[in-house]
């Protein structure tokens, strides 16, 4: 009876603002719908909702469109979650992704006053701001709403996978596997014609209203769609087209390279391994998937993410794994998005490093005329040394190139020890290089002091990363420089990159 229904299947949390929405819990469909409405309400001009179809049970299929207003047609990145009802971590990730994209964009706005300017993790935010100027994200948090709601009914329905469409004549089992229903070698391999099977491909291609809605909507803007991401679980995989054996996408090598970089980005967060390949290589052959369909109609980049785990909990991934799963998957998705964006919108001037140098020049120059200049950020030193190399330089000092883990560890030891006068830091904090005024004793580091007096009576650590993006969070306090140092500082700022 109803008394036996676990509490999680019946809960409904009121949502007054986005501030009290819990992204580390699984949410039933009414809560997700309320969240979507609140995201739109609280982010006018950045987020809008677009209904592009209806489910079998006549529910609106809605995508959140995230992007900055433009008078011209923009490129598109597509993401859908929850095509399989029981994969609850997938809708949780789509919500997390929206939160992160929206938050990164909002942080890019500067608060300017008479005596202060606050820039929070400027580089990351400015990059997202640039992407949102060029690209619109279309994100469907739950594609298979009927099935998802059914999986929330009680414990006996928790592992429901398919849609909830009516069975064909002579069968008593509802639903079709939506990811076998697209027009991509439909019905040929890795499917079942038994309507009671979890991988039943439907009575015909696009027999399901949900698959038909995605097809029509994406097809209508296919010339603008740069990337198609569909989020699933479980297995810790990044799948590239095609699911049919012995058939490769024309840009297979590039897809594999991009996916491998995403896998490396994922591993850098919590150490989780994600395997890369086509379904026949690393999973099993299949046909009729949305991923394959997207590549077949000409969308150049199409990937399936299979999130945690590798089978221990399977589709019943505990809620305490939502955050780490989403954190790592976000970095993987962002790696792909950055690649796709940069390929279509090359950075003027030749490199991201040039843009970074320009930022630091502006930042430092501002201290010459500001009474007070304060910005907060932390630089996770080890996190940026995972691949390639990074260049660490100080004002008026020769750059040092860090190329291996041992050197990275040494840099961490020298730069990230507990601050004198501050409380002991935790292990995570100790991997943050803190930038601050030289004359403030509380900001001095234990161990070898590698800094010297520099611009504006402060020391500054400048980090430029050549082969992976730096997500900087650093604390920089710059105070007015003595007049005698002004010309020296301006000379450094106007020097060419080679001279510095």
Residues 51-95 have pLDDT tens digits of 999 999 999 999 999 998 888 889 999 999 999 999 999 999 999
Report the distance separating Cα 386 and Cα 470, nearest Å.
11
Q: How confident is the model at residue 348 (pLDDT cuts 50, 70, 90)?
A: low
| Bridge partners of residue 78, in order along the sequence | 138, 228
- Please give the pLDDT value at position 404: 38
Quickly state the pLDDT bin for 103 (edges 50, 70, 90): low
User: Of 286-295, 298-307, 427-436, which gets the smallest average pLDDT?
Assistant: 427-436
Q: Do the Cβ atoms of 42 and 34 come closer than 8 Å?
A: no
Reported as a pLDDT band with limits 50, 70 and 90, residue 378 is very low
Task: Indicate the domain borders of the chain.
Answer: 26-344
Encode pLDDT of 397-420 as tens digits.
333 333 333 444 444 444 443 333
Q: What ranges in 350-448 are assigned the alpha helix state H?
A: 352-366, 405-415
pLDDT for residue 446 = 31
Cα angle for residues 45, 46, 51 (degrees, 5° grid)? 95
Could you tell me which residues come within 8 angstroms of residue 70 by beta carbon, excluding any fewer than 6 positions away? 133
Pairing mode, if any, of strands 461-465 and 47-54? unpaired
> What are the tokens at 323?
């955050």
Identify the pLDDT of residue 20. 87
Find, among 365, 356, 332, the residue nearest to 492 by Cα.
365
Whether the predicted pLDDT of 230 surpasses 60: yes
CB 99 within 8 A of CB 141: no
Most confident of 352-361, 391-400, 419-428: 352-361
Average pLDDT of the residues of the chain: 73
262 pLDDT band, cuts 50/70/90, is: very high
> Which range, of 20-24, 152-156, 331-335, 392-396, averages the lowest pLDDT?
392-396
Of the candidates 332, 345, 347, 343, the one whose C-alpha atom is nearest the C-alpha of residue 79 is 332
Would you say 228 and 204 are in contact if contact means Cβ atoms under 8 Å apart?
Answer: no
Question: How far is Cα 237 from Cα 282, in angstroms, rounded to an integer?
Answer: 8
- Count H helices and E strands in the chain, helices first: 12, 16
The DSSP secondary structure of 135-204, one letter per residue, reads EEEEEES-S-HHHHHHHTS-GGGTT--S--PPPPTT-------GGG-SSSSTTSSS-BS-TTSTTB--SS
For 60, the enclosing helix (H) or strand (E) is strand 60-66
Q: CA–CA separation, 131 vs 334, rounded Å?
A: 11
Q: Are 465 and 408 in contact (CB under 8 A)?
A: no
CA distance 235 to 142: 20
For residue 306, indicate whether it is catalytic: yes
The answer to whether 301 touches 238, Cβ cutoff 8 Å, is no
The maximal CA–CA distance of the chain, rounded, in angstroms, is 91
CATH number of 26-344: 3.40.630.10
What is the rounded CA–CA span in Å between residue 316 and residue 283?
20
Query: Is 493 in contact with 365 (CB distance < 8 Å)?
Result: yes
Angle at 460 between CA 456 and CA 461, to 5 degrees: 170
3-state secondary structure of 381: coil
Give the model's pLDDT for residue 8.
Answer: 54
| Strongest mean pLDDT among 37-41, 369-373, 425-429, 479-483 | 37-41
pLDDT single digits (tens) 116-138: 121 222 234 678 888 999 999 99
380 pLDDT more than 50: no
CA distances (Å), 228 to each of 26, 74, 115, in order?
Answer: 24, 15, 45
Which listed residue (126, 208, 306, 331) is catalytic? 306
Question: Which of 155, 149, 204, 146 has its CA nearest to residue 175?
Answer: 146
């Amino acid at each position: 009876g109803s008394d036996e229904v676990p509490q999680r299947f019946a809960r409904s949390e009121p949502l007054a603002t986005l501030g009290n929405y819990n992204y580390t819990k699984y949410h039933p469909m009414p809560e997700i719908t309320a969240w979507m409405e609140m995201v739109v309400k609280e982010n006018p001009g950045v987020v809008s909702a677009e209904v592009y179809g209806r489910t079998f049970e006549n529910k609106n299929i809605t995508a959140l469109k995230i992007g900055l207003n433009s008078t011209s047609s923009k490129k598109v990145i597509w993401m859908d979650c929850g095509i399989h009802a029981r994969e609850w971590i997938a809708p949780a990730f789509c919500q997390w992704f929206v939160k992160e994209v929206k938050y990164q964009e909002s942080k890019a706005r500067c608060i300017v006053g008479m005596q202060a300017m606050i820039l929070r993790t400027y580089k990351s935010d400015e990059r997202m701001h640039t992407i949102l100027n060029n690209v619109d994200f279309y994100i469907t948090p739950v594609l298979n709403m009927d099935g998802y709601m059914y999986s929330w009914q009680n414990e006996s329905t928790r592992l429901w996978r398919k849609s909830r469409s009516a069975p064909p004549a002579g069968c008593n089992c509802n639903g079709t596997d939506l990811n076998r229903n697209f027009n991509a070698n439909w019905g040929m391999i890795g499917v079942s014609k038994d309507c009671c099977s979890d991988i039943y491909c439907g009575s015909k291609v696009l027999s399901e209203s949900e698959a038909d809605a995605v097809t029509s909507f994406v097809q209508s803007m296919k010339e603008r769609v740069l990337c198609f991401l569909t989020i699933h679980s479980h297995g810790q995989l990044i799948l590239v087209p095609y699911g049919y054996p012995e058939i490769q996408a024309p840009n297979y090598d590039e897809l594999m390279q991009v996916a491998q970089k995403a896998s490396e980005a994922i591993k850098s967060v919590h150490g989780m391994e994600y395997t890369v390949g086509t379904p026949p290589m690393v999973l099993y052959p299949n046909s009729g998937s949305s991923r394959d369909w997207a590549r077949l109609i000409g969308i150049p980049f199409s990937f399936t993410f299979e999130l945690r785990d590798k089978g221990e909990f399977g589709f019943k991934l505990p809620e305490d794994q939502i955050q780490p799963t989403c954190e790592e998957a976000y970095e993987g998705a962002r790696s792909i998005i950055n690649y796709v964006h940069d390929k279509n919108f090359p950075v003027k001037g030749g490199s991201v490093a040039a843009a970074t140098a320009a930022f630091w020049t502006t930042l430092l120059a501002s201290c010459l005329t500001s009474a007070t200049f304060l910005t907060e950020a932390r630089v996770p030193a080890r996190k940026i040394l995972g691949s390639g190399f990074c260049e660490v330089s100080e004002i008026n000092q020769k750059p040092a190139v860090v190329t291996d883990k041992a050197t990275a560890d040494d840099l961490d030891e020298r730069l990230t020890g507990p601050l004198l006068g501050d409380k002991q830091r935790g292990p995570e904090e100790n991997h943050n290089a803190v930038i601050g005024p030289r004359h403030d004793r509380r900001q001095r580091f234990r161990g070898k002091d590698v800094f010297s007096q520099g611009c504006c009576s402060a020391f500054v650590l400048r980090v430029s990363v050549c082969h992976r993006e730096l997500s900087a969070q650093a604390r920089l306090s710059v105070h007015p420089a003595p007049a005698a140092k002004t010309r020296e500082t301006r000379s450094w700022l106007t020097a060419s990159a080679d001279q510095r």
